[in-house]
């Protein structure tokens, strides 16, 4: 294939734009924050499960304290009833039985109050554990929100860069002969489409060309389209090619 050196040089612009578009698309699909965001989501599931466990333990303690308080209320009611009966009783045997029951109720109340104090101490610890877990989740949510906002900004910028690159590419490609552009596109589909030959080196694969290859390219007409023997990209020649 033959094409003017000017048209071949335009392929370098297209190749540069294609690289810019690829980088922008990669950034759009893979913002650097994505990995950490996924890690935070996974960690939040673990923390949320632990929070549910701690909330359950705290609820159990609150229920335990409520039961103890109910039992204390029952003991107080029975004590008040027995005290009233004792005050009005004239039967010595009945009075002795009431006094014995009041002593048992007093012991029962003391035991309940000790249990309530222990449960309240454990509830205080449970409240602290819940608060600690909620704080950890809140901090994780804040970090996730910040990262998500940053990722959205990067995606938006990358999307804009890709769209601008596509517009620029269309403008440059529109000035290139269709057959030359088609050849470039076929080669670019599997790697670098075009690269400069600079100081005997293919800028596409960074390989220094052998003497035989350089002689072949040196002998080619200025408008001949030549390719790299290593990577197959179109080699664009200039005064700096070292031929």
The string of pLDDT tens digits covering residues 89-129 is 777 777 688 788 989 999 999 999 999 999 999 999 999 99
What is the average pLDDT across 42-65?
96
Fold adopted by 29-158: Helix Hairpins (1.10.287)
Torsion region of 220: left, alpha or beta (phi above 0 gives left; psi -120 to 50 gives alpha): beta
DSSP letter (8 states) at residue 2: B
Return the half-sphere exposure (C-beta side, CA atoms, 13 A cut-off) of residue 87: 6
- Counting other chains too, the contacts that 46-53 makes at CB distance below 8 Å and 24 or more residues apart are 47/133, 47/136, 47/137, 47/140, 48/137, 50/133, 51/130, 51/133, 51/134, 51/137
Give the number of other CB atoms < 10 A from CB of residue 236: 23
Across all residues in the chain, what is the average pLDDT?
Answer: 93
CA 106 – CA 158 distance, rounded (Å): 76
- How large is the C-alpha radius of gyration of the chain? 42
CA 139 – CA 177 distance, rounded (Å): 58
Residue 31's pLDDT band, with cuts at 50, 70 and 90, is very high
In this predicted structure, what is the pLDDT of residue 63? 97
Residue 220's pLDDT band, with cuts at 50, 70 and 90, is very high
Which is nearest to 228 in space by CA: 199, 193, 190?
193
End-to-end C-alpha distance for the chain, whole angstroms = 20
Domain boundaries, the chain: 5-26+174-236, 29-158
Evaluate if residue 194 carries a pLDDT over 80. Answer: yes
What is the average pLDDT across 198-207?
94
């Amino acid at each position: 294939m033959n094409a003017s050196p000017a048209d071949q040089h335009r392929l370098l612009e297209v190749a540069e734009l294609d690289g810019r578009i690829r980088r922008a698309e990669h950034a759009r699909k893979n913002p650097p924050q994505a990995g950490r965001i996924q890690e935070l989501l996974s960690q939040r599931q673990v923390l949320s499960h632990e929070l549910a466990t701690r909330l359950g333990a705290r609820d159990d303690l609150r229920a335990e304290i409520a039961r103890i308080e109910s039992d204390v209320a029952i003991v107080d009611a029975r004590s008040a009833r027995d005290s009233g009966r004792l005050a009005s009783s004239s039967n010595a045997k009945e009075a002795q039985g009431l006094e014995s029951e009041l002593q048992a109720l007093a012991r029962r109340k003391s035991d309940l109050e000790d249990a309530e104090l222990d449960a309240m101490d454990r509830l205080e610890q449970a409240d602290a554990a819940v608060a600690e877990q909620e704080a950890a989740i809140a901090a994780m949510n804040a970090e996730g929100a910040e990262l998500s906002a940053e990722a959205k900004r990067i995606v938006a910028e990358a999307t804009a860069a890709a769209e601008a690159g596509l517009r620029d590419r269309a403008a440059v490609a529109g000035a290139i002969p269709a057959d030359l552009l088609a050849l470039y596109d076929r080669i670019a589909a599997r790697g670098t489409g075009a690269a400069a030959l600079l100081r005997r080196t293919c800028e596409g694969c960074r390989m220094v060309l052998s003497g035989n290859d350089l002689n072949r390219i040196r002998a080619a007409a200025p408008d001949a389209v030549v390719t790299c023997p290593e990577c197959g990209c179109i080699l664009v020649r200039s005064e700096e090619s070292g031929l």
